[in-house]
Amino acid sequence: MLNESGFIERLRSRFAAQGRVEVGIGDDAAVLRSSSVDHVTLVTVDLIAEGTHFTLPPATPRQVGRKALAVNLSDIAAMAGRPETAFVAVALPRRRGADCALELFEGIAELAAEFDVVVAGGDTNIWDGPLVISLTLLGTATGRGPVLRRGARPGDWLLVTGPLGGSLSGRHLAFTPRIHAAQQLHQTVELHALIDLSDGLSRDLTHITTEQGLGAIVEAEHVPIHPDVPVDLPFETRLRHALDDGEDFELLLAVSPEDGQRLQDAPPLGVTVVHIGEVTAAPGQCLLRSADGREEPLTASGYEHRF
């Protein structure tokens, strides 16, 4: 039997304050110190809930903890940032007991260590509802500063950092957030716009194109389809999976054609880039069939919750 204060004591000894963190878990607020003259803080928060973003089982508490941090790391990657400190608020199901909760935090701890992230605070609640984790991740900008969703220009190349689709068969619990890829790309070329693919390419593309008064042409045959999408399905079905499934957590970037060519010819070490289309001045998203030059509307049909 473990109560909230006993649990917090465990977390405090597991996650010691270090680096920028002067005061971590155990006071009223964490204290972070920065001594650069012009400090940019990046902040992202994602809440994942049992039954909506994962199911226990097949997911394990450790995988869920990992995912709670991973989706936030992906958001910091999408700003070409460097993650620094995490804050974990949880509603823990009483019936699952303390072991589930400790496993959850191990999943967070393992991925945090991989990315030099310090867990510096949080809020622990035990309740009779399902497992809910809200993780806030703070980071800092790298290189020329944060890369936003806005900034793409007509004629820009659109690139993705890996194959898409089929993530929900298991990859969504184990993907590698593209922190390193984003920093490498940011160092190599001028990224005009950057976003991570969480809701599906067809939907996330709108954030850097139609929402900015621009359009896009995506070449159907160039969209990389992940092996997680069964190969025995018809091509059109596989393509829709790649366009709409979501939870890919690859990056989508817009760069000048020259930079796009440069990245394609000599990508940074360990970074994959696939040229999937172009930004257009005319609003609207199109899917281009290279076989016959036919264009069809690319509708945003990724998953979206409604009231």
- The interface with a second copy within residues 11-30 (CB under 8 A) comprises 22-23, 26-30
Helix (H, G, I), strand (E, B) or coil at 88: strand
The stretch near a second copy (CB under 8 A) out of 78-86, 160-168, 277-285, 290-298 is 78-86
Of 148 and 233, CB closest to a second copy? 148
305 binds a second copy (CB under 8 A): yes
Q: Which of 16, 19, 43, 155 binds a second copy (CB under 8 A)?
A: 43
Closest CA to 160 of 182, 189, 187, 183: 182
Q: How far is the CB of 171 from a second copy (least distance, A)?
A: 20
55 binds a second copy (CB under 8 A): no
The stretch near a second copy (CB under 8 A) out of 47-55, 56-64, 212-220, 224-232 is 47-55
47 binds a second copy (CB under 8 A): yes
* Residue 63 burial (CB count, 10 A): 21
Span 186-205, contacts to a second copy by CB under 8 A: 194-196
How far, in Å, CA of 88 to CA of 68, rounded?
9
How far, in Å, CA of 122 to CA of 7, rounded?
12
Q: Pattern 125-154, binding to a second copy, x per CB under 8 A?
A: xxxxxx-x-x-xxxx-x----x-xx-----
Q: Which of 11, 69, 79, 181 binds a second copy (CB under 8 A)?
A: 79
Q: Which two tokens stand for residue 157?
A: 């190349």
For 31, counting Cβ atoms within 10 Å of its Cβ (0-12 exposed, 13-18 middle, 19+ buried), the class is: middle
Order the strands of the 82-93 sheet from edge to edge: 118-127, 82-93, 132-140
